[in-house]
Chains A and B, each alone.
Chain A
Amino acid sequence: AQRVTQPEKLLSVFKGAPVELKCNYSYSGSPELFWYVQYSRQRLQLLLRHISRESIKGFTADLNKGETSFHLKKPFAQEEDSAMYYCALTPGGGNKLTFGTGTQLKVEL
Chain B
Amino acid sequence: NAGVTQTPKFQVLKTGQSMTLQCAQDMNHEYMSWYRQDPGMGLRLIHYSVGAGITDQGEVPNGYNVSRSTTEDFPLRLLSAAPSQTSVYFCASRHLETQYFGPGTRLLVL
Tell whether A pairs with B.
Answer: no
Interfacial residues, chain A to chain B (CB-CB below 8 A): none
